[in-house]
Each structure stands twice: as C-alpha cells, then as structure tokens.
C-alpha cells in the first residue's frame, strides 16, 4: 500500500520550522507496510492547499496524511479549507466546548475567545480526539482514500496517530533490516570496498548509505523479509571492512568505547583544548562512565598546559601550543595526573579565527598515551567551530577503539 503526506504552514516553507512530522509518519507507516511515495508542502493559503490536494488525489495512494493549520489563530485555515474541499457539514460540539473551558480553568488561564473554534466539528467525517491539545483531528474517506487531517504540533500529531489511527491501518509487519555503524571511512570508499558484495546480493538485499559527521550508517533491508540473508551479508561486509564498523542500530561510538573500557577495567582521563570538554561530555553522557573515567582538564591556556599537565614550556615556545609534541605531552600529563590507564590529549584551532598559513583553522592534533601505546595524529577538519569540536572528539574515541580493541 502507498501513502502521501501534505504538510501545511508558512513557517515550514520559510525554513523557520523543520518538518519532523513527515519523517516520523513515514517511519511509522513503513512498519505497517505502507510506503510513502509523495511528500509535499503548502502555504497557509486555501487555494494552495486545494491545488496540492487535487494533485495528490491524482496519484495512486490509499492513505493521505495532512498536518498543520488546525489551531485557533487566524493563520490556521486548514480546518475551513478542508470543510469546503470535502463538502463537510459543520456543527458545534457544546460538550467539547465545556471540556475545553474546564481545562483552562484547571490551568488557571483565561480561555481566549478564539478557542471556541476548536469545538466546531463535522457530521460527515470522524473526529479524532486530541489527548495533548485542543485541536481535534479528522478522518475522511474520499475517493477510496483514507484521509487523516492532524495538528501540526508534533506531540499532538503523534498522540492522535498512536491512539486512534493505528487501528485503521494494516497490522504491523516486522520488516527485517539491519544498520551497521562505521567511523573513519568515507561513503565512496566504503561503497567501493564492498561493491562486489552489493552486486552479489542485488535483487535480494537493499543497501542504503546514510552519512553524517558521526560516520556512515549502512542500512541493509531484505527484500524477501528474511533476516538470515542480512546476517550473511553482515558477515561478508565485516570480513572486508570490519575495522571501520563499531556497532549496530542504536549503538553510539561513545557507548561502545565505554562498554569496552568497563569490560576490560581500563581507566581513562582527558586533556582537551580546542574541544572544550566535548570528549569528556560524550563519555560521561553514558551510564557507567564513573567506573572508568577518572576526570578531565580543559587546558585552554598555555599556563594550564604547563602547570597542570606538565607540558614543557620550551616545547610550546618552539613549536606552539597546537603541535604534535604538545598533544603527546598533554596525553601523558593527564594520564599521570589522574593515575589512569589511558590519557587523551587534544589541541587544535576550531576557528573561525586563529589560523595561520602554517597552522590553518581546522588543524588538530589528537594523542593517546598508556598501556604501552603513545601516538599522535594530525588532522585538518574544514568544519565550523561546533562541528570541528564534535568530529575531533569522535576521532579521539575512534583512536581509543582501534588502538586497544581492534
């Protein structure tokens, strides 16, 4: 079965609000074996909405989801547009209006007069109660299509979907898929390395590459609904590029690294300059980090590098604070300071200012020290400041994983 989604709102088209509704709907519909084949948006204009509806009813879908514009303010025109488009007969729900008044009284807020419009319902369709807000949804059967009109507020839309729409959909069917998570390899390189595997499984398994700054997710979907094929494909992929993959599905690099450190009872400490404590944040965001994380130092100034981490002042004078030797001494210094098994040192230039011809913005040195290993790597990450800090922290996590657990 197929579906289409129409999102309504000037704020969506202007880019002030990100449309999360259509993504959430598509994911949940997929679990019911309903494939979304069309997504479109319309402004808060009756003519634009009607034109989009005309277009959507020309394609072969059995379900149409419309979100947005059901509120009580003047720009919320979806309700009236839907009424006219589907020739719905209006009536006033006194019982619901009294319920709305009691809700406002309970909250100690004077009910705006515009809220009265939320009690307008329609006879020749099914009204869908909203457990999270005031705007009810609508269920209309039109031209052999099940049409659901829902509020644009994500929490309200989801609540109505889960409470009252799921039962109107085909039963859920588990679609076998597997997501393998990698870091440290580009999308094109990964595809090239496993191209023969993709070719061998053509027509049986779909391969989707999902890149982000936190790595490449490889999503495998079995066309014939057989999880056995997915496990076979996974084994073949790991034989070729296993060193780049750290987990599956909802695993994060930081949670995987933490779990390995806890399992081996290996303690860790961090010395960060340009990342400003972000690496420590990633580690401590996971439960159980207190078992292995000794502590961290944000060594932004040279004074702190020298006095707390023992970085040689002459090395800083000679090479600069952003250098290979300083990163190495930061890693060793923090390891010794906290008496941990492993120390990590990061120093760099996150920008947007501070770079030179010899040391451009984006330059970062990342070092690890401990358990017989002392290494440093240089990277130039041409990213904005926040992204530079996040990617550098992820590189450090991956260095720990590859150095001690691969």
Q: What is the domain-level CATH number for residue 272? A: 3.90.950.20
Asked if 180 and 218 touch (Cβ cutoff 8 Å), the reply is yes
Distance CA 166, CA 264 (A): 45
Average pLDDT of the segment spanning 62-90: 93
Residues 394 and 318 in one domain: yes
Q: Distance (Å, rounded) from C-alpha 194 to C-alpha 213?
A: 21
Res 50 pLDDT > 90: yes
pLDDT > 90? residue 223: no
Same domain? 241 vs 308:
no
Residues 372 and 283 in one domain: yes
Residues 204 and 83 in one domain: no
Q: Rounded to an integer, what is the distance from CA 104 to the centroid of its chain? A: 35
pLDDT reading at 227 higher than 80:
no
Pair (189, 102) in one structural domain: no
Give the domain range for residue 83: 2-168
> Domain end: 137, 168, 199, which one?
168
Instruction: Say which CATH number the domain at 222 has.
Output: 3.30.70.2860
Mean pLDDT of 299-328: 97
Residues 234 and 271 in one domain: no
What local confidence, expressed as pLDDT, does residue 271 receive?
98
Q: Are residues 48 and 116 in the same domain?
A: yes
**Residue 224 pLDDT level (bands cut at 50, 70, 90):** confident
Which domain-ending residue is among 118, 150, 168? 168
The model's confidence at residue 3, banded by pLDDT at 50, 70 and 90, is very high
pLDDT at 103: 86
Asked whether residue 76 carries a pLDDT value surpassing 90, the answer given is: no
pLDDT at 31 over 90: no
Of 218, 248, 278, which residue is a domain's last? Answer: 248
The Cα–Cα gap between 331 and 276 comes to 15
Report the chain's mean pLDDT, rounded to a whole number. 95
Per-residue pLDDT tens for 320-337? 999 999 999 999 999 999
**Region 387-399 average pLDDT:** 97
Residue 32 has pLDDT above 80, yes or no: yes
Q: What is the pLDDT of residues 170-197, one digit of tens each?
A: 998 777 889 999 999 999 999 999 999 9
**Do 164 and 184 sit in the same domain of this protein?**
no
- pLDDT tens-digit series, residues 240-250: 999 999 999 88
Which CATH number fits the domain that encloses residue 65?
3.40.980.10
Q: Are 157 and 183 in a shared domain?
A: no
**Pair 268, 286 in one domain:** yes
Q: Do 286 and 241 belong to one domain?
A: no
Give me the number of domains the chain comprises: 3
Residue 345's pLDDT is 98
Q: Please tell me whether residues 131 and 232 are part of one structural domain.
A: no
Which backbone phi and psi does 13 adopt, to 5 degrees? -70, -30
The residue with greater pLDDT, 299 or 117, is 299
Full-model pTM: 0.73
């Amino acid at each position: 079965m197929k579906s289409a989604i129409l999102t309504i709102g000037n704020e969506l088209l202007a880019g002030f609000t990100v449309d999360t509704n259509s993504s959430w709907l598509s994911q949940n519909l997929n679990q019911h074996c309903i494939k979304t084949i069309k997504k479109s948006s319309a402004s808060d204009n009756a003519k634009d909405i009607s034109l989009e509806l005309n277009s959507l009813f020309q394609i072969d879908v059995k379900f149409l989801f419309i979100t947005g514009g059901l509120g009580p303010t003047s720009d919320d025109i979806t309700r009236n547009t839907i009424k006219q488009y589907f020739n719905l007969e209006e009536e006033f729900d006194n019982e619901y209006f009294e319920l709305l008044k009691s809700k406002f009284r309970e909250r100690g807020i004077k009910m705006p007069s515009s809220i009265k419009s939320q009690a307008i319902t329609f006879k020749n369709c099914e009204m869908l109660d909203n457990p999270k807000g005031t705007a009810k949804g609508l269920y209309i059967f039109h031209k052999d299509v099940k049409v659901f009109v829902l509020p644009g507020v994500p929490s309200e839309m989801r609540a109505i979907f889960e409470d009252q729409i799921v039962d109107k959909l085909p039963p859920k069917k588990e679609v076998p898929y597997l997501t393998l998570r990698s870091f440290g390899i580009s999308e094109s390189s990964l595809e090239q390395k496993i191209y023969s595997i993709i070719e061998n499984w053509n027509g049986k398994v779909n391969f989707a590459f999902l890149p982000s700054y936190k790595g490449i997710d490889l999503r495998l979907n079995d066309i014939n609904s057989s999880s056995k094929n997915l496990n076979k494909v996974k084994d073949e992929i790991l034989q070729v590029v296993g060193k780049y993959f750290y987990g599956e599905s909802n695993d994060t690099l930081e949670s995987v690294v933490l779990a390995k450190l806890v399992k081996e009872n290996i303690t860790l400490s961090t010395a960060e300059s340009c990342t400003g404590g972000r690496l420590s944040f990633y580690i401590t965001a996971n439960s159980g980090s207190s078992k292995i994380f000794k502590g961290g130092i944000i060594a932004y100034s040279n004074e702190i590098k020298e006095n707390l981490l023992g970085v040689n002042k002459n090395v800083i004078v000679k090479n600069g604070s952003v250098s290979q030797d300083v990163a190495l001494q930061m890693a060793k210094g923090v390891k010794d300071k906290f008496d941990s098994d492993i120390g990590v040192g990061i120093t760099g230039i996150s920008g947007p200012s501070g770079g030179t011809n010899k040391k451009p913005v984006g330059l970062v040195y990342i070092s690890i020290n401990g358990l017989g290993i002392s290494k440093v790597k240089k990277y130039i990450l041409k990213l904005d400041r926040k992204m530079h800090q996040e990617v550098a922290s992820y590189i450090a996590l991956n260095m720990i994983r590859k150095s001690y657990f691969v």
